[in-house]
Amino acid sequence: MSNHPITEKLFLDGPAGRLEAVIDRPGEGALHGCAVVCHPHPQHGGTLHNKVAHTLARAFVRSGFEALRFNFRGTEKSEGRFDNGAGELDDALAAIEWMRARHGSYPLWLAGFSFGAAIAVKAAVSTHVDGLISVAPAISRFATGLESQPDCPWLVVQGDQDELVDVGETVEWVDSLKPGPELLIVPGGEHFFHGRLSELRQAVMDFVAVES
């Protein structure tokens, strides 16, 4: 598989106007699936260009998937305004539907980081996806009271030195779910996985390889 993905910038029609997006696809080889990646909190600098979101997209591309990253409403060139997670869930669902229309016969995975991980969990509860990756999920703030849990292969990755999402909180939440996701604790990993992005990418690739 080529390490030089093909990148395309585009706009999707979202519920609150156009959503700015980027598609990364493998440079060669057959496509095995597609993925939608949700970025961290837009009011704290989160965009589709975030390094963890980019790492997630790259992990999927190296796994032979086409990966879509998009900016939530009101972020950079996306229209609309921030909506405390409710509208952002609608944005994620619109991005999933756009990807489904583009690649209807392929497995569709969903991934997110921090705020985006919480949104992705909620999206995976409300629509079927074939796999889910949640990195440092800000569940207590944006995805509490779930009526059910995602019904798909699901990996949660959490650093034990995360200064924004408490590792104990994540462990307690995962333990409350039955059967629950697979949980990977990264020793020494903090919120943005500085110096650990290649490790994160490999963990995602390994999970995708086993579950897809």
Torsion on CA atoms 29, 64, 127, 36, rounded to nearest 10: -110
Q: Answer whether residue 3 shows pLDDT above 60.
A: no
The pLDDT tens digits for 164-185 are 999 999 999 999 998 899 999 9
The pLDDT tens digits for 100-154 are 999 989 999 999 999 999 999 999 999 999 999 999 999 888 878 788 899 999 9
Residue extents of the structural domains in the chain? 6-211
Q: Please answer whether residues 109 and 137 qualify as being in contact, where contact means their C-beta atoms are separated by less than 8 angstroms.
A: no
Q: Please answer whether residues 204 and 65 qualify as being in contact, where contact means their C-beta atoms are separated by less than 8 angstroms.
A: no
- Of 168, 132, 164, 136, nearest to 44 by C-alpha is 164
Q: Which CATH superfamily is domain 6-211 in?
A: Alpha/Beta hydrolase fold, catalytic domain (3.40.50.1820)
Instruction: Point out the least confidently predicted range of 9-13, 36-40, 93-97, 102-106.
Output: 102-106
**Mean of pLDDT values over 183-210:** 97
pTM: 0.97
The pLDDT tens digits for 18-64 are 999 999 999 988 899 999 999 999 999 999 999 999 999 999 999 99
| Backbone torsion region of residue 32, taken as left when φ is above 0, otherwise alpha when ψ lies between -120 and 50, otherwise beta | alpha
Running DSSP on this structure, what letter comes out for residue 43? G
The pLDDT value recorded for residue 1 is 44
